[in-house]
A = this chain, B = another copy of it.
């Protein structure tokens, strides 16, 4: 089983690049084309493909359509993935409205919020009281959830979600969530991402090209 997140992310990037190449009229692509488009080496592309049993034609590369279909199947893009959002602060609201998910076959079907004043069943994505979440998850067999609640509520929210049947969480609360091995948690911590940029900028030597600016 492939457990390397970077590898999956690269697969998604290949898929996105393929889409662009198709728009440009490409019918076949070589590992070299995809490598250039994504910014990796062609060996990396072929290695990734071989891990998933994707084969091309020696000398002939890969057919864009066939490759796209294979990648879509692997990435679960052959069907709509229903996702819920919990917590409608700044980040949660932005994600609920975010248009970038649609084209990736990801549909946010509902959002949940503790503050009753923010709830509404009439918005494009219904905003429901957080108490209704477990029932909603069970009734609609939701497997994926996004956490955007304050840090103090995040672990409890995760536990409730997992208890109701959620198996994968994208967490934006600035704490590392813990869970059993059979649930996937991907922690995205915006402060930490920015802090690492700040660190590298502050420690990077000033080079010729940046000195005068």
Contact = CB atoms under 8 A, between A and B. Distances in A.
Given A39-B176, A167-B210, A188-B188, A144 B198 contact: yes
A158 interface: no
Contact of A76 (B99, B100, B165, B199): B199
Contacts of A18: none
Interface in A161-213: 163-165, 167-170, 174, 176, 178, 180, 182-184, 186, 188-204, 207, 209-210, 213
B194 A144 contact: yes
Interface string A53-88: 000000000000000000000111000010100000
Contact of A200 (B168, B195, B203, B204): B168
Interface residues of A, number: 68
B90 A199 contact: no
A177 B74 CA distance: 26
A207 B182 CA distance: 7
A205 to B, nearest CB: 8
Contacts of A193: 170, 186, 188
Given A76-B202, A204-B167, A213-B164, A83 B186 contact: no
A203 B1 contact: yes
Contact of A143 (B95, B143, B170, B201): B201
A163 to B, nearest CB: 8
Contact of A204 (B182, B194, B198): B182
A104 interface: yes
Contacts of A122: none
A153 to B, nearest CB: 14
A139 to B, nearest CB: 13
A93 interface: yes
Nearest to A81: B198
